[in-house]
Amino acid sequence: MNRRTRSLLTLTLALSLLVQPLALAADRTEGKLFATRSVVHARHGMVAAAHPLAVKIGVDILEQGGSAVDAAIAVNAALGFLEPVANGIGGDLYAIVWDAETKRLYGVNASGRSPASLTADKVPANDNGTIPLFSPYSWSVPGAVSGWGLLHDKFGTLPLSEVLAPAVRSAREGEPVTQVIAAAWERSIRRFGDKPGFAEVFLPGGKAPKEGEIFRNPALARALELIGEEGADAFYKGAIADALVAFSEANGGYFSKEDLAGHTAEWVEPVSTTYRGIELWELPPNGQGIAALQMLNILEHYDLRGMGRDSAQFWHTMIEAKKLVYEDRARFYADMDFYDAPVDGLISKQYGYERSKLIDAKRAARRIEAGNPRLEHGDTTYLSVADKDGNMVSLIQSNYTGFGSGYCVPEFGFGIQNRGGLFNLDPKSPNYLEPRKRPFHTIIPAFATRQGKPWMAFGVMGGDMQPQGHVQIIVNMIDFDMNLQEAGDAPRFHHGGSSEPTGTMMTTGGVVHLENGVPDEVLRELRRMGHRIEETIGIFGGYQAVAIDHETGVLSGATESRKDGCALGY
């Protein structure tokens, strides 16, 4: 049996778990929380992502001798075609890489900057003082391709053209659209259907493709082919840059050739905190990753295991910790080239202890002020990869609000992100819109280590859900002994309505959303404590994870039912 046949059989088996009888799935948990499928195990490589065909491409790259970084780029490129409702070459990227040779973590910030000619006084603000999201005023330079270039130059082993070839082929020949992606595509028509270039690229025949229908994007295939041949320069200095600037000039944008040519991705040092024997690593601002570290520093002062997940006290404590941290997020997180964010103070153990004392065990807070550490929407794709040499990648990429701004460059088949909509128009804010500045960012990759050894590359996609999700995954595994799959399938909370870096403020304590599976008596008690509970679906993110067992050398992968993806190894 050749490798390709074996890989296809493995994929078939993995997907078959989705349709196993519920009784078998329940047996899998041995009386614990319901898991939608088993953890996937393999010896040589593992990929977890939001689309099975993209996962298969990543495994193929690993089997061909590619590194974890090669596979991650190949998967991301494929997802830009297969899952355009969440990501693409018109968006931004962040990554954390464990390099087995140097035995250390490397961080990549490939988020784009605002155009040099766009200043706050030129923006026609919304009634609430924010930047119009679905307009050229929200555009920032797409950074994803620069991230590919930075990663590949340091850690790639295959030629970039070979890494991108599967995505080129898929985009040119077409692939069937999956269920969750098709539903998001259909919902997007109302918001994006009239935006320049959108229908031409993403509405073949004037409509969104249905589940199971073949979608093609030959223009995107041409773009990926150029990037494979010329590297990132094709996007920032070549034909794609020319088309993007021309589109901007024709549609009221502010991009110049200098904005694109001057863009660079950067290596950054991940930062961490400890939590009951593990280390969680995130990237520093302009992203929101340190919010997860702050939350864990607060929560470690509470006996969550003793409270139990089926208690109102557990959910109340988690929610209140989130509220405290997100007020700091609104006050202190910004581009550190423009603002000296007090990262060390924010993630210090002493500060976490002081903030933990502000939680009222009996009542939900209605209003919280940011501390002094020196004394909700968005869609994203996340993927994890591990290779046979012990390298691991945690990578996240996004257009921000689904298709981003909705404006699409038809010559090359991609939409332009609207991440610049997260700037603040108040000059007093650290996140104030200034030329060539990076906006506050929601997308965050995560990485966990044990005693300095790599353990888990994971993420939870979805706007402001992401730090909340990272914390819940860690708490599920560390405090409640869940495995890699159960930790993602377990019901989650999402709290919305905290103060935002854009300038909107929390005044009523926000809104709590709890997934099905939380007991009714818990909801009643939370309401009695003053929490505003609302039912909703679709805002709880999407989890992927890859982990390594150093005793056996076995790799594990997990994905969840909230997305269309899978985990697959070889």
Could you give the residue numbers annotated as active site? Answer: 380
Task: Find out whether 568 and 546 touch, Cβ atoms under 8 Å.
Answer: no
| Assigned token pair, 34 | 């319901």
Rounded CA gap, 551 and 535, in Å? 43
Residue 369: burial class (beta carbons within 10 Å; 0-12, 13-18, 19+)? exposed
Looking at residue 359, its amino acid is I
Rounded CA gap, 457 and 479, in Å? 19
Among 184, 139, 88, CA closest to 381: 88
Query: In this structure, how many other beta carbons lie within 10 angstroms of the beta carbon of residue 37?
Result: 22
Query: In this structure, how many other beta carbons lie within 10 angstroms of the beta carbon of residue 463?
Result: 21
Tell whether the torsion through CA atoms of 123, 129, 135 and 138 is positive or negative. Answer: positive
Rounded CA gap, 70 and 152, in Å? 7
Distances (CA, A) of 445 to 99, 284, 381: 16, 11, 10
Task: Find out whether 409 and 243 touch, Cβ atoms under 8 Å.
Answer: yes
**Which positions ≥6 away from 5 have C-beta within 8 Å?**
none
3-state helix, strand, coil in the chain (%, to 5): 40, 20, 45
Distances (CA, A) of 204 to 76, 115, 134: 23, 31, 21
Rounded CA gap, 121 and 502, in Å? 16
Tell whether the torsion through CA atoms of 447, 451, 455 and 460 is positive or negative. Answer: negative
Query: In this structure, how many other beta carbons lie within 10 angstroms of the beta carbon of residue 237?
Result: 17
| Assigned token pair, 129 | 């003082």
Task: Find out whether 65 and 157 touch, Cβ atoms under 8 Å.
Answer: yes
Would you give the DSSP letter of residue 372?
Answer: -
